[in-house]
Structure 1
Amino acid sequence: MPTSNLKIVNFRCFSNASINLSEGINFFYGKNGAGKTSILEAIHLASSGKSFKSSNINSLSKDDKKSFLIESYNSSSGSITTVSKNEGKALSIKLNNKKITKINLLIESPSIITDNHTYSFTNETPAFRRKMLDKVLFVSSLSYRESWIQYQRLLKQRNAALRTQDASLASAWSAKLASNGEIITKSRKDFLNLVISNFHTLLDYLSKKHSINQLKKIDIAFLKGWDGEGLLEEINNRENIDIKAKTTTKGPHKADIQFLYKNTEAKHILSRGEQKLLSIIWTYSQHKTIKDMFNKEPVLILDDIKSELDSHTFEVFLSLLELIETQVIFSCIEDIISSKIEDKFKGLKKFHVEQFKT
């Protein structure tokens, strides 16, 4: 759900700001420390209840203030989302003045953030890549969400039994754990198959305009988290290993997505700029798949887009931007959108952020 107007009070470096956004492309530029990322962070917080910069919500208030407020208004639906924090109280999330949970907020107003961590996701851990995948499916699919929550609960219970060396109790959780694990894995496979198809279709389109030979040679492999066919059989066969390790050593909680270049991990071959471009294209491929499979259109948020992109890879990004039909919000230190580029994008809005003002 796109944000038409964003109101920020006592958040990060902003005392009070109101920003009217385009439902298409929005570009924020300005010097380091001016507040560009804080605006993107506020938009993400209003769609997820979480900051992508800090896990400490109390640290987000401006200076010595003890509270903050973020209000997001959508003109199409007339809905208002309010995220606020007052001293000594938990984070408050309201939709049209009614309290909702973070999960409901994610479902109502999904967004996909691409920042310094996700730009280098091929260098990150399998857990990080799983988290990226799970977040997308979690907010898009009710069946996935239910199975994922159940799996995490059962995994915690089985691991607790393994830590006490209670084989019979650990075994009692195995069947339900495996059943939910199989559902999670099938959902991941189905989703990723379509993402990979969209990814290669997108590369074919971009390669007609730009030289992206390295990226076209990327192969993507999904590792489900165990070696055999059935998960229950795998869990049962590894019971003694799990008891010794005091944890469940195989399952979808060990899954990964590998990006390979001629059987070598892409992170060892691609430049940092190419890795960043790969991340952006992969993010858009996921976004298109969410729309195709679940009829949802998350807001795309890209922080510090130009860093490590040379002029060629930036041109590829602009070609990609022409395809995006949902709200996009991105930032950069310099004004990289010339009037010639601006004319290509209907409804594009530019914001110069300077000394905590736009």
Structure 2
Amino acid sequence: MKKIGFLSFGHWSDHPSYRARTASDTLLQSIDLAVAAEEIGVDGAYFRVHHFASQLASPFPLLSAIGAKTSKIEIGTGVIDMRYENPLYMVEDAGAADLISGGRLQLGLSRGSPEQVIEGWRNFGYQPAEGETDAEMGRRKTMEFLDKLTGEGFAEPNPYPMFPNPPGLLRLEPYSEGLRERIWWGAASNATAVWAAENRMHLQSSTLKFDESGKPFHIQQAEQIRLYKDAWKKAGHDGEPRVSVSRSIFALLNDQDRYLFGREAGQSDKIGYIESDKRAIFGRSYAAEPDQLIKELAEDEAIQEADTLLLTIPNTLGVDYNVHVLSSILKHVAPALGWR
């Protein structure tokens, strides 16, 4: 059994073929899609965070709205770029969203991807400490976020407060018990996957990772997941770690499916460079009639290693079409692979 969720990048553009032409369209349709996805049995609604782009950027209002209108579906991010974040303010926002949803928040964090502007986090008022890289800054801020999520008091109370204080040092409020156990790390390398395990975070592995061996993408990703699981076990953490992988998967059931995604059939992995000097491998998309999809997906080693599959969706095509995309996988592909 696998949990199956969707991952939306939340694009919008004033394009004649798009159903999401404005930020308002994307936000409201994201809520509607999460509600509809829960109704058809999808397990998770996840959203990417990008700044300075016509895409979703502030996840907590959206996640709170979804949490208030749903009752079962997991809600989360994949991922929040921690270079841009104030860890303490984020603890408050995340706690509120988790309480509104009844403890369904699954929060994916990371150092982030190449952004729309040069060193955009500086515009947010952040810069690395002396001798620190921006990636190290992101991990440092993540550790502070994790520390404050424990609910331990750390702030000296005012002896003359406006409202009475409880005894001892004060923690951030609202505090949501259990949220610390539902934090994920998006790892692009084997080393950061191991780091995530050592620091008791679940693992999100996307359709991109650094090319560390020259092997096919799904094999490199499966090796990354095994290293992560070994590191979790070695660290002696309680509980079982969770692992998600992202995939673009389209069952071609009708002429519209074939028109939109038929060209994706038979694709292979791609090699490219991010930030000009880092060789990366990008996983292929899957598009075929269900019987062929089942054969191809059965050979994907990383999907086999993961307990959660996040289906990347074309959100600009609207709620109805994306419900069709998701339900096609649930009905025609997942049962034959033992995912349902």
- TM-score, structure 2 as length reference: 0.30
- TM-score, structure 1 as length reference: 0.29
- Higher Rg: 1
